[in-house]
Amino acid sequence: MKDIQLLGSTGSIGVQTLDVIRSHPEEFSLSALSFGVNTDVALKQIEEFKPSVISAGTKEAADIIKQSLSYSADVLVGSEGLHAVATYGKGTLVNAVMGSVGLTPTLEAMKVKKDIAIANKETLVTAGHIVKELQKQTGVDIIPVDSEHSAIYQCLHGDHKDVDKLILTASGGSFRDKTREELVNVTVKDALNHPNWSMGAKITIDSATMMNKGLEVIEAHWLFDMPYDQIDVILHKESIIHSMVEYIDGSVLAHLGTPDMRVPIQYALSKPQRLAIKGSEGLKLWEVQALHFEKMDYDRFKALKLAIEAGKEGGSAPTVLNAANEMAVSLFLDSKISFLDIDSFVSRALHEHSKISVPSLSDILEIDKETREKVALY
């Protein structure tokens, strides 16, 4: 039996993680969860799984939970709550919170020797070197949940010396068939309409700008200890091949499946064992019929280029990239800026930043905060 603590229970990945736990009560239990403000969904989850520790994003949300709770549990708020959930018990932390707020709970969980199933890519983007250093010191396992990274994880074996490159597939997002000129007046509603995946709002916008793929290149660099020039991105609009590993003899191993996040979530918790997925009919390739691939156009998808450049530059550049992007996406979702402002704002923030070569945790937290404040005023 594996005990799980879950950050971000009310989100897209959080809800699917609870589906996985619910489907396999003989394999998994849940002892702690965090959510932000969605008390309606959280209350139902809490009454079903009865976690011992609960964290809410605001005091108001915590008060609603406390008033409605039918059993005794610790209910905390904000970063204190996230840290309490992350460090509770002895199991695996599933980090499915959105954004760099996931960084410090991840580090706290690692310090108490928890394995981390990581969906929260922003943590690895903003502070990959700190997470990896702590992983070396603690020996904990960091298991990818992101579909591309889970695919690569499943295609890798041995010590990676025989790997030529990692190939991340990209769906192209909501606007993949539009030129940049056609993006001038696109709406939030259009951008949230991802062709293949149903996901939270922030990652769906990242997917439309292709910043998601850029964050994923940086995530792959840290997760698999792979130099940037050995990480490729290819456009694959069906999202059936979730990613590939090319070996030095030209062999390419790919992971295929229907676009269903329960698969990588569950594998991160059950590996190396595989468990059935309730209600899944599996992949019917005769229905898919054809798979398509295109070379990436880095001028069309500027955010991808920006992210790869920031990753290669290293130091505090990825922190700025991530924080500027989080703020710009939030402004776009609030209809305060246009879609094309997102990558312009990120580019401006990167140009205005004076890089720190090896930022400490406190540097990262400070740069994250400052960058958000600056971008909010652009």
Ligand X SMILES: NC(=O)C1=CN([C@@H]2O[C@H](COP(=O)(O)OP(=O)(O)OC[C@H]3O[C@@H](n4cnc5c(N)ncnc54)[C@H](OP(=O)(O)O)[C@@H]3O)[C@@H](O)[C@H]2O)C=CC1
The reply on whether position 57 binds ligand X by CB under 6 A is yes
Paired tokens of 233:
């991105």
The entry of ligand X, ligand DXP, Mn ion, none near residue 174 (CB within 5 to 8 angstroms by kind) is none
Token pair 């069906």: residue: 238
Residue 38 annotated as lining a ligand binding site:
yes
* Structure tokens, 12: 């897209």
Contact between 347 and 368 under an 8 Å Cβ cutoff? The reply is no
Least distance in Å: CB of 219 to ligand X?
9
97 binds ligand X (CB under 6 A): yes
Using CB under 6 A, pick the residue from 200, 238, 271, 348 that binds ligand X. 200
207 lines the binding site for ligand DXP (CB under 6 A): yes
10 is annotated as contributing to ligand binding: yes
How many Cα atoms are found within 13 Å in the side-chain-facing hemisphere of 221?
26
Q: Which of 108, 115, 122, 146 binds ligand DXP (CB under 6 A)?
A: 146
Residue 135 in contact with residue 129, Cβ under 8 Å?
no
Among 108, 115, 122, 146, the residue binding Mn ion under the rule CB under 5 A is 146
Look at strands 252-256 and 241-247 and give their pairing.
antiparallel
With binding defined as CB under 6 A, does residue 261 bind ligand DXP? yes
Establish whether 150 is an annotated binding residue: no
Work out how close the CB of 34 gets to ligand X at its nearest, in angstroms, rounded to a whole number. Answer: 6
Smaller CB distance to ligand X: residue 149 or 305? 149
Residue 150's alpha-carbon distances to 41, 83, 216, 259, 263, in angstroms, are 27, 25, 11, 13, 9
Minimum CB–partner distance for residue 340 and ligand DXP (Å): 18
Tell me if 121 is assigned to a ligand binding site: yes
CB 149 to ligand DXP: min, Å: 8
213 binds, among ligand DXP, ligand X, Mn ion, none (CB under 5 to 8 A by kind): ligand DXP
Residue 301 per-residue DSSP state? S
Whether 212 has a binding-site annotation, put simply, is yes
Please enumerate in sequence order all residues whose Cβ is within 8 A of that of 187, keeping only pairs 6 or more positions apart, or say none. none
Using CB under 6 A, pick the residue from 199, 320, 323, 327 that binds ligand X. 199
- The answer to whether the beta carbons of residues 145 and 13 sit under 8 Å apart is yes
Residue 147 is a binding residue for ligand DXP (CB under 6 A): yes
Tokens of 95: 């980090």
Under a CB-based contact definition with an 8 Å cutoff, are residues 356 and 363 in contact? yes
Calpha distance 247→291 (Å, rounded): 21
Binding range to Mn ion, per CB under 5 A, among 126-134, 141-149, 164-172, 315-323? 141-149
Task: Catalog residues that contact ligand X under the rule CB under 6 A.
Answer: 8-14, 34-38, 57, 96-99, 101, 119-122, 146, 197, 199-203, 261
